[in-house]
Amino acid sequence: MDAIDAATTLARACDGDDEAFRRLVETHSRALFRLAYRLTGNEQDAEDVVQDALIRAYRRLGSFESRAAFATWLYRIAANCAVDHLRSRQGRDARHEVLPEAADAPESPLPGPDRLAASAEIDRHVRAALADMSPLERTAFTLRHFEGRSINEICRTLGVGSSAAKHSVFRAVRKLRAALAPLASKEGSTC
């Protein structure tokens, strides 16, 4: 879809044309899924976030201001849907991603050539730390670290103050470092 076509489609969707909204869904779903997966770390949850975000966007299309970029607006809705989703998931099963063996990993030194196993272990620790974060910490950290959004953009996206956004990122980093500390000491012992 070129820029003119995209603007026309968006204008038609805002005027209530469902076929135009369908084209927007087809254009933006994959990017939304990537963001949702990063935020939730789980395929099924990411699918739910994509659908919830698009339905929420549809409901609010009438209030979309054409001065803003549609992708950014949609992105903001998806990030907030992910926060809501993480909150409800936390209520259900706060630590379902923490694998028990991560904590009880054998103390053997990391074998040099076995990079895959090492990478899987790092991945387990990172996932465990992400699962241990609050929804706001996880979302703010993901937006900052993986999506390259500035603190100011995170404030606007999540509707929080600068201090709250910064401290969410700080706490997230502390949790990650604590989770990765055993690996760092292991690597240090092999050097």
Q: According to the binding rule CB under 8 A, does residue 19 interact with another protein? A: yes
Among 78-86, 101-109, 131-139, 170-178, the segment contacting another protein (CB under 8 A): 170-178
Determine the Cα–Cα distance for residues 26 and 33; give it in Å rounded to an integer. Answer: 12
Q: According to the binding rule CB under 8 A, does residue 54 interact with another protein? A: yes
- Cα→Cα distances 104→96, 99, 108, 137, Å: 16, 10, 12, 26
| Position among 146, 159, 161, 163 found at the interface with another protein (CB under 8 A) | 146
CB of 161 to another protein, least distance (A): 15
Applying CB under 8 A, which residues contact another protein?
Answer: 16, 18-19, 22, 25-30, 33-34, 37-38, 43, 50-51, 54-55, 58-66, 119, 122-123, 126, 144-146, 150-151, 166, 169-170, 173-174, 176-177, 180, 183-184
